[in-house]
Amino acid sequence: MSGETAVPRAGDSTGARTVRFAGRIAGFGTASGTRIVAGLWQRSPFGPFADVMLEDAGGHRTLLAPSDEVAEFVSSTYSFDEVRVVPVAWHRITGGLRVEASGLEARLFVGAMPPLGRLLRVVPPRIATAPLWLEAIDPLARVIVPGVRTAGTAGGGRREFYGVTTLRRIAWAGARLDGVDLGAFAALDPPVRFGFGSAPPEPHLVDLVTSIRMPAAG
């Protein structure tokens, strides 16, 4: 799929603009304490790409990004202790997906759609991904799913909005890092600390559009 270009916000003469990333995010935990959030972005200013964010039991946060350009943008938006530029890829497998990134290999199997997922599908995507809507429902989102935010302040003076359109449970997942098994499938707990919000504690695969409002030029 072709990349989605960043465009200036309508009516903004200062040069402020909003960039959009459309794709999927999977988040889950492991018995070792390492939590994994993997993204598969089908449309973005950088074209299609995949990336992975890891936080271990000691709180060390690592970004695995496929290019210097992606690494610079993502690490300027979120917070990491380490950034690695490595090949990152997703592959379809029977019942789920496999993620590979340098020394990381993760597999996940997709389960049923929960009631919240069915509710999200009722909202037209045009509304569900609109920053004004996401700003308005952020207080409610925090109550419905603790730790989750739909709007907040990102790094570099940026404002970020998460518009989820579909949500499915992850039935099982497992991962190995540098040849070491990270342990049994677990909740994403404690919450990850890459940005202003975390993925849900219960492991999910979500379809979403992430909108990032960049600061005005100058």
Residue 1's contacts (CB-CB under 8 Å, 6 or more residues apart) are 42, 43, 48
Model pLDDT for residues 32-45, shown as the tens digit of each residue = 999 999 999 999 99
Dihedral Cα 29, 163, 145, 82, nearest 10 deg: 30
* Residue 37 · residue 194 · CB < 8 Å: yes
- The CATH number corresponding to 16-213 among 1.20.1070, 1.10.287, 1.20.120, 2.40.400 equals 2.40.400
pLDDT exceeds cutoff 80 at 218:
no
Question: Where do the structural domains in the chain lie, given as residue ranges?
Answer: 16-213
Peptide bond into 190 cis (omega under 30): yes
Query: What is the pLDDT of the chain when averaged over all its residues?
Result: 91
> Measuring CA to CA, which residue among 50, 40, 53, 57 is closest to residue 186?
57
The predicted model scores a pTM of 0.90
CA end-to-end span of the chain, whole Å?
A: 33
At residue 60, the pLDDT reads: 98
Identify the residue whose tokens are 């600390």: 193
Average pLDDT score over residue span 125-143: 94
> Is residue 158 within a helix (H) or strand (E), and if so which, with residue range?
none
pLDDT exceeds cutoff 50 at 4:
no
pLDDT exceeds cutoff 80 at 11:
no
pLDDT exceeds cutoff 70 at 82:
yes
pLDDT exceeds cutoff 80 at 19:
yes
Give the model's confidence band at 174: pLDDT under 50 very low, under 70 low, under 90 confident, else very high.
very high
| 147 vs 140, higher pLDDT | 140
At residue 16, the pLDDT reads: 66
pLDDT exceeds cutoff 50 at 10:
no
Amino acid at site 186: A
Q: Bin 148: left if φ > 0, else alpha if -120 < ψ < 50, else beta.
A: beta
